[in-house]
Structure 1
Amino acid sequence: MAASLTAGCTGGDGPADDGRGRGREPGATDSPESRTARGSVLAVKIDNARRARPHTGLNAADVVYVEQVEGGMSRLMAVYATRFPHAVGPVRSARETDLELLGQFDRPTLAFSGAQRKLLPLIEQAPLRAEPPGLTPGAYYRGTGRPAPHNLYLRPGALLPEPPGPDALTTGFRYGAAPSGGTEVAARTVSYPAARFTFTWSQRRDGWLVSMDGTAATTTDAGPVAPATVVVQYVKLRASDYYDSLGNNTPFTETVGSGRAEVLRDGKVHEVRWKRGSASEGTLFTTNDGAPVNFAEGQVWVVFAKA
């Protein structure tokens, strides 16, 4: 696995391939690993550099996490449980933060382009199914119209026979009626040193239109990005043992712990608290008096912001 993980790091507006790949051969049976993975979510690391946009397959994700990486830039991790798009991407490399974040799921499948050599042992030891390019034939392909490394795409159906369903989303999130109170807000912006996200409420779409670095976020296959709920989760960032080729440190986002958060839904912002006791647990969001906070039905974006 080590050779494939490392090699994947190098390397029109959308992918030329339709993402469906080859179908299953008549009489084919699932491997033991495939049968084990059937009940697990699919998590995909997604490039968020300007040249990587617009994305493909992002609107099909149940949850999208936004994390800060080296140089103050951002990267996304999309989690799929209820439906798979034909293709997802562009796919990029994994970070140490991902391993702690994914601990809440039961042996998730992690699709990523590669990782730093020093990180490989941690990935191999983590309770997940690592799927970089080269392990599963036909799972990845290079699109046209963009230079590498911003043109690597995944066919989800090549890794998992079908979506595992909503029960695989062991995030701790609750869905239902909005909490009482809240403050009406037209838009909310979260900034990293080299990235900016703005979420603008759209009554017509019943969601928050996403803008990245001042440009409206859209997809090549499903139009504008407009999650029903946006969570701004304030967390601690610390230096990790990993650096990019320019010497920039990759910050580690601490998703185990507690702190404050903002939940945006239905055109309002709610000040809440978050708590995650260990890496194997989901994250609980409560009001200041301890009552559970419900999210709106639909896609959730969780943006990690520095506390």
Structure 2
Amino acid sequence: MRHGARTRRGALGTAALAVSLTVSLTAGCTHHGRADDRAPQHTPAPAAPTTPSAPAPSVTAAGSPLAVKIDNVPAARPQTGLDAADVVYAEQVEGGLSRLMAVYATRLPQTVGPVRSARESDLELLRQFQRPTLAFSGAQHKLLPLIHRAPLRPESPDRAPAAYYRGTAKAAPHNLYLHPAKLLPSAPGRAALTTGFSYGPAPSGGTPTAARTVRYPAARFTFTWSAERHRWLVAMDGTPTVTTDGARVAPATVVVQYVRIRSSRYHDVLGNHTPYTVTVGSGKAQVLRDGRSFDAAWSRPAATGGTTFTAADGSPVNFADGQVWVVFAPAP
């Protein structure tokens, strides 16, 4: 299922990406030096973010998922539609803060956001999917040519203004929201999740784990096991993570993936280099499921493939069915 989707990626490459994306950076920038503040040209009447709708029907054929860059500073919380994502990636950005990328394949919520800017390492991470749609608010102008050439479908407010709107509950730039149905006619289905993840019964062994915290220089994630819900309850910077409708974000599986985080060639307006999260290669990881932590090794030999997680004996470390959070932590 997953491998079939990836084998078609090469044929979709340059020709599919001849579509031009014009992102103007003449508007005011955020403290990260990106064009996140500008409202779409044709913005619907501003409104507070709406509650996610019922899941859209899935299709059985492999397709292209929707990836959305989501703001994660305290002023952007609570987010909308985060609980509907199949996979949530957490990455370190400038100033030691964090940002999220939510991937949607099995269902599309009515609204997702707040939407923020793309980073160079997002392009490497997204190579595992078959020409995914990337929803983002903008990017550093020197990064835009790379986004043009990447094997994805970039959809910023400049390209798809009708898909975005400014909410009234938060101040700009933390109030840009997306209507996914304006970008995808329906959810592509589980086959579009060409992540390499293995799902199934829990491995043997493991260490009983009540909570696990991952720290960045200026952000932290805590995952606390709930035996009642059989899920990991997410807290960010010490505050429980809920959506705008009050639902607690609670993935079934949490992955702490140790990766190399280096400086990229890009920087913000203060001269701080943007971190680049390296997701191709191999390293150590911990997989949290069913109230236990399992040591694992991760491997992604090529950008066009997904990431596998294996135990010491080489057997796959299965994930539990449900939402997965992958937190990219600095390798020790």
User: Equivalents in 2 of 1:217, 1:246: separation in Å?
Assistant: 30
Indicate the SS of the match to 2:260: strand
Indicate the SS of the match to 2:102: strand
Q: Which residue of 2 aligns with 1:220?
A: 244
Q: Which residue of 1 aligns with 2:133?
A: 109
User: Equivalents in 2 of 1:284, 1:113: separation in Å?
Assistant: 31
Contact 1:5–1:113 (8 Å) recurs in 2? no
Instruction: Assess, with a 3 A threshold, how the Cα gap between structure 1 residues 119 and 138 changes in structure 2: closer, same or farther.
Output: same
Q: Which residue of 2 aligns with 1:176?
A: 200
Instruction: Please give the TM-score of this superposition, normalised by the length of structure 2.
Output: 0.84
User: Equivalents in 2 of 1:290, 1:3: separation in Å?
Assistant: 45
Contact 1:6–1:115 (8 Å) recurs in 2? no
- Residue 18 of structure 1, CA deviation: 3.5
Question: Counterparts of 1:214-293 in structure 2 under 5 Å?
Answer: 214-221=238-245, 223-293=247-317
Indicate the SS of the match to 1:291: coil
Kindly report structure 1 stretches of 4+ aligned residues shifted beyond 2 Å: 1-11, 17-20
Contact 2:50–2:80 (8 Å) recurs in 1? no
User: How many residues get paired?
Assistant: 290
Alignment match of 1:157 (pick from 175, 178, 181): 181
User: Equivalents in 1 of 2:101, 2:114: separation in Å?
Assistant: 11
Q: Deviations over 1:73-100 (max 9, x none)?
A: 0000000000010000000000001000
- Residue 136 of structure 1, CA deviation: 2.1
Q: Normalized per residue, which structure has more strand?
A: 1
Question: Counterparts of 1:167-206 in structure 2 under 5 Å?
Answer: 167-206=191-230
Pairing 1:2–2:30 present: no
Alignment match of 1:148 (pick from 169, 172, 178): 172
- Residue 9 of structure 1, CA deviation: 2.4
User: Equivalents in 1 of 2:194, 2:283: separation in Å?
Assistant: 20
Contact 2:51–2:81 (8 Å) recurs in 1? no
Q: Deviations over 1:245-300 (max 9, x none)?
A: 12211110110000000000000000000000111000000001110111000000
User: Equivalents in 1 of 2:202, 2:305: separation in Å?
Assistant: 24
User: Equivalents in 2 of 1:102, 1:211: separation in Å?
Assistant: 26
User: Equivalents in 1 of 2:176, 2:222: separation in Å?
Assistant: 26
**Aligned amino acid, residue 40 of structure 1:** S
Alignment match of 2:79 (pick from 55, 59, 68): 55
Contact 2:49–2:244 (8 Å) recurs in 1? no
Q: Which residue of 2 aligns with 1:95?
A: 119
User: Equivalents in 2 of 1:110, 1:119: separation in Å?
Assistant: 14
Q: Which residue of 2 aligns with 1:76?
A: 100
246-255 or 162-171: which moved more? 246-255
Pairing 1:18–2:50 present: yes
User: Equivalents in 2 of 1:218, 1:225: separation in Å?
Assistant: 6
Contact 1:59–1:222 (8 Å) recurs in 2? no
Identity, % of aligned pairs?
A: 68
User: Equivalents in 2 of 1:6, 1:201: separation in Å?
Assistant: 46
Q: Deviations over 1:175-218 (max 9, x none)?
A: 11000000001000000000010000001111100010010000
**Aligned amino acid, residue 18 of structure 1:** T
- Provide structure 1 residue ranges, at least 5 long, that are not aligned to the other structure: 21-37
User: Equivalents in 2 of 1:131, 1:200: separation in Å?
Assistant: 35
- Provide structure 2 residue ranges, at least 5 long, that are not aligned to the other structure: 1-20, 28-34, 39-45, 53-61
Instruction: Please give the TM-score of this superposition, normalised by the length of structure 1.
Output: 0.91
Contact 2:51–2:80 (8 Å) recurs in 1? no
Contact 2:81–2:111 (8 Å) recurs in 1? yes
- Residue 3 of structure 1, CA deviation: 2.9
- Residue 146 of structure 1, CA deviation: 1.0
Instruction: Assess, with a 3 A threshold, how the Cα gap between structure 1 residues 93 and 40 changes in structure 2: closer, same or farther.
Output: same
Contact 1:71–1:248 (8 Å) recurs in 2? yes
User: Equivalents in 2 of 1:107, 1:251: separation in Å?
Assistant: 24
User: Equivalents in 2 of 1:73, 1:17: separation in Å?
Assistant: 24
User: Equivalents in 2 of 1:242, 1:75: separation in Å?
Assistant: 17
**Aligned amino acid, residue 155 of structure 2:** E
Q: Which residue of 1 aligns with 2:58?
A: none
**Aligned amino acid, residue 23 of structure 2:** A
- Residue 221 of structure 1, CA deviation: 3.0
- Residue 10 of structure 1, CA deviation: 2.7
User: Equivalents in 1 of 2:306, 2:26: separation in Å?
Assistant: 30
User: Equivalents in 2 of 1:273, 1:257: separation in Å?
Assistant: 11
